[in-house]
Structures are given as C-alpha cells and as structure tokens.
Amino acid sequence: MKKEEATSKIIKETKFIHAVIPLLFLIISLAYTLKYTKASPHIPIIISGMVASWVAMFGLNYKWEIILEGILETIKSSMEAAIILLIIGMVVGSWIISGVVPTMIFYGLKIMNPSIFLPTTVLLSFVAAVATGNSWSAAATIGIALMGIGAGLGISAPITVGAIISGAYMGDKISPLSDTTNLAPAMAGSKLFDHIKAMLYTTIPSFIISMMMFTMIGLKYSKTQVDSSALNSIFITLTENFNITPMLFIVPIITIGLVIKRAPAIPSLLFGTIIGGIAAVIFQKASVTDFIEVLQNGFVSNTGNKIVDGLLTRGGMNSMLGTVALIICALFLGGIMERTGMLNAIAKKILSIANSTGSLIFSTLLTAFAVNVLAAEQYLSIVITGRIFKDVYKEKGLEPVMLSRALEDCGTMTSPLIPWNTCGAYMIATLGIAPWVYVPYCFMNIISPIISAIYGFTGFSIRYLDEKKVKKSKVDLKYVYVSTINSIK
C-alpha cells in the first residue's frame, strides 16, 4: 500500500461539528475581547486558529505539516494585498507632506456644503472606483480627501466612511477593470459583460436606495449651521503651513491614470509615492530626510489646530503594520479551516436546506459571507463559494450569471464590513476609522445582498438555462472538497 493511500485513510471526514468548535470559540472570544477588554481582535483570532488546528490534529488526524501547508498557501494568496497596504501607508504620508491632501481638502471645503456632501461623496467614490476598477485605490486617493472635507463640514466620520465605501464598492462591483468582477464569472462559468448586466438588477436599486438615505442624512446636516470661524481657521492653518496650489492635483491625476491604464498596482502606487516626494521638495521645501521619515513613520501635524492636526497626522508604513498583522492572523485561521475541510463542512450544512431557487441563492449569499468572516479574504469568498455551488446551479438549471451575481452581491459587498477581513482592515487603516462604527452606514453593502436574496425567493430577474425544463426537485448535493486556493489579487 502506498504511503499516500495510508495517509488518506487515516484522515477522517470533516463533519459540521468539527467546524463549529473553532467557530463558536471565535464568536465568544471576539465578543468578550471587543466588549470587555476593548482590545484588538488579533489574539482571539490567532487562538481560534490554534483551536481549529487542535481539532484537525486530534479529532481528524491531520498532520501539522498538511495544516501548515494550507496556512502558508492561504497567506501567500494575500501577500500582494499586504504589500499594497504597506505602500498605501507610504502614499498617504507622501501626499500629506507634499501638500496634495491639504490641497484637496482646501478646495473641497470651498465648493461643498453639508447638504450635498454625502451623496456627492458616494458619486465621487463610485466614479473613482469604476475608472480604476479598484475600491482600494478610490479610498486611498479621493477617500482620504473626502474624510478631511467631511470633518471640516462637521459630518460624522463613520457616516462619511459609509458613503465612501458604498460608492467605492458599487464602482468596483460593476467595473470591467475590477479583479473581483472578472473573478466571479470565471468561477461561475459566465461571461464578463453578461455578469455585469445581471448585476445591474441588484446594483441599481441598491444604489438608488443608498443615495436616498445619504441624501436624507445630508438634509439633516443642512439644518446645522457650519461654523464659519472654524472653517476659516482651517483655511488659514492650511495656507500657513502648506503651499496650496492646483498644480498639486497633478500627483493624484498621474497615479490614478496609471491605474486606469491597468498598470500593476504596486509599481503605480510606488510611483505615486515618489512623485509625491518630488512635489514635497518642490512645493513644500521638504528635505529628503523628512520625506523618508514620513514614509516610515507617517506625517505628524503640529499646527495647533486640532481639526487639521487630527486630519493630517497619519500615514507611513508603520501605521499599516498592525493591519497587516491582523490580516495574517485571520488568514492563519482561514487557511486551517479551508485546508482541513471545515469551511466545506459549513457550506455542506448550509446547502442541505437548499431545496428551492430562493434557498439556493440565499445559501450562496450566506456561504460567501461566512467565508468572508472565517477566511478573511474576499477572493477566497468568491473562489471557494463559486467552486462549491457551480455544479449545484447547473443541476438546478440556473444560468451561471445567477451564481456570479450572488458571489459579488455578498462576497464582494460584505468584505469591508468585517474588520479582520483584508478589505475591512484596509478601509479602517486607510480612512482612520474605528472598527464597526462605520458598518451601519455602508448602506450599499448591506442592501445589495438583501435585494439579491429577495429576488431569489420572488423569482424576479432569475434566469434559467432552459425555462421549459426547470428542475423543481431538490438538488442532489455532493460533497465537494475545495483544494488549495491560488487566487492572487
């Protein structure tokens, strides 16, 4: 008997109960840590990974070498995202010391008022994400400036973040340049533009409802008189400490232009950092030493104006280290649960109730969300869920675009709502917001999966391969073991 065959016989089949143990530990430990100790979620997540590994080794007879291989492969799949995070920290510091961010805040405060700020924020974030095909790029460029403008207008920071994320993820979702928009149809077996057309049925209503809600909130703020003295103080502080000039808009325009032209993200962002440094030397008379220090440790504003100092004291590679560590902790847990079949066991349990089109689509949404929570990566959410459900949708007679739409409606849209997911961690670190507080205002991200589920149960916009031969019987579900995920952003 071959050694591989002997090893495969020793390993037991992963049951739902095996997956529940680390999942319950994660929920309880996170709830306790966040509520009572006010600590970060790093430790509960890493300990939950240890619990998952103990279950796998002592309950399922997995060898540590196999588990470690799954951990390393999962972490490897998100290393580009981690590198981008570090570079974003450098970009933020570079654009502040160069005067780019202060200039964007200055002119933004000149032309905006509270009543139109939130819907305008959604639209600007949407346009930036569609053009670049990347919600992260939108948040790191226009998003940072919008945070400053919102603070100057007296808009609550969590609401501003909600508007930025809503617009950015809608743009990312329907942009043909987006990696997730290309990944979802690839996993489901549908065509790109058929996928985008199908998504419009859920995306447009979600967008309209979100815009209405942000407009209503904006009207509420319009009743509050903007403190003109505080606003003038911001203008004076910015002009006294920075050389404010429209010429500085060249830096973000070039950077965004590179992304639009589909230049690789890492070289494009590094180039944006470098030209920010050149602008810092030319326009702000900064030294090379000052610039390098800011890239490492971030910009520290000491103007004496609390609002300005709060807005501009940020950035630097070091500011992203905690976020990168959080992502690695989450991927440690996700890699164990994926490699040992625990994620599949959870999906299999969910699928056991999928005896109708509505319940099948709802199960898809639920599985994508669960993977976002447990594996902490939207690409894994799309890939794993897509592999699990592809044959089931075909057996049910549904067109592949129904699966790809569901993958994006929940897999893409809910990823920034989870603080330890790569997307949630990125938004928190980039926009400087506390975990959870912005989630209730991410209207687009919350509404989209709800509408998708409603369509499933009502049958609206649901498309079948052969309308006359729709299979109404319960799908014969088979256990699908999802192997190593190599999706790289």
How far is residue 408's CA from residue 403's CA, in Å, rounded to a whole number? 9
Q: Which domain holds residue 205?
A: 79-320
pLDDT score, position 226: 63
476 belongs to a structural domain: no
Same domain for 310 and 337, yes or no, is no
- Specify whether 211 is located in the same domain as 163: yes
What was the pLDDT predicted at 467?
57
Considering the domain architecture, whether residues 52 and 23 belong to the same structural domain is answered as yes
pLDDT digits (tens, 9 = 90+) for 372-415: 888 777 887 887 788 778 878 888 889 999 999 999 999 999 99
- pTM score above 0.85: no
Query: Per-residue pLDDT for 126 more than 50?
Result: yes
- The reply to whether 256 and 382 lie within a common domain is no
Residue ending a domain, among 275, 290, 320, is 320
Residue 49 lies in a domain: yes
CA neighbor of 337 nearest in space, from 361, 363, 371: 371
Q: Which range scores top for mean pLDDT: 60-64, 123-127, 184-188, 228-232?
A: 60-64
Give pLDDT, residue 424.
92
pLDDT value for 7: 46
Residues 170, 64: one domain? no
With bands split at pLDDT 50, 70 and 90, how would you rate the model's confidence at 476?
A: very low
- pLDDT, residue 479, reads 35
Task: Identify any residues that bridge with 464 across adjacent strands, giving them in sequence order.
Answer: 398
pLDDT at 481: 33
Residue 280 vs residues 260, 292, 462: alpha-carbon distances, Å: 24, 11, 54
Out of 1-5, 63-67, 461-465, pick the least confident.
1-5
237 and 368 belong to one structural domain: no
Domain end residue (candidates: 320, 352, 379): 320
Indicate if the pLDDT at residue 119 is higher than 90. Answer: yes
Q: What CA–CA distances, in Å, run from 337 to 12, 282, 432, 461? A: 14, 52, 31, 35
Comparing 7-21, 34-48, 440-454, 471-485, which segment has the lowest mean pLDDT?
471-485
Number of folded domains that form the chain: 2
In a domain, 289, yes or no: yes
Q: Is residue 69 part of a domain?
A: yes
The answer to whether residue 98 is domain-embedded is: yes
Question: What is the share, in percent, of the chain residues with pLDDT greater than 70?
Answer: 92
Q: Do residue 144 and residue 163 come from a single domain?
A: yes
When pLDDT is averaged across residues 327-351 and rounded to a whole number, the result is 84
Phi/psi of residue 114, each to 5°?
Answer: -55, -35
Q: Are residues 119 and 238 in the same domain?
A: yes
Burial of 304 (0-12, 13-18, 19+ CB in 10 A): exposed
Let me know whether 340 and 265 are in one domain: no
Residue 10 is predicted with a pLDDT of 80
> How far separated are the first and last CA of the chain, in Å rounded?
41
Predicted pLDDT at 371: 85
| Measured CA distances, 194 to 112, 115, 407, 455, 459 (Å) | 38, 37, 14, 18, 18
CA distance 155 to 109: 12
pLDDT at 391 (0 to 100):
79
Question: Is 82 a residue whose pLDDT tops 90?
Answer: no
Same domain, yes or no: 212 and 257: yes
Residue 5 lies in a domain: no
Per the prediction, the chain carries an average pLDDT of 85
130 or 163, higher pLDDT = 163
Same domain (yes/no): 38, 126: no
The last residue of a domain, from among 285, 320, 355: 320
The answer to whether position 91 is within a domain reads yes
- How many CB atoms lie under 10 A from the CB of residue 358? 17
Choose the weakest-confidence range: 6-10, 160-164, 220-224. Answer: 6-10
Regarding whether 304 and 165 lie in a shared domain, the answer is yes
* pLDDT 10s digits, 221-264: 876 666 677 778 888 999 999 999 999 999 988 887 887 777 78
Q: Is 180 within a domain?
A: yes
CA 238 to chain centre: 32
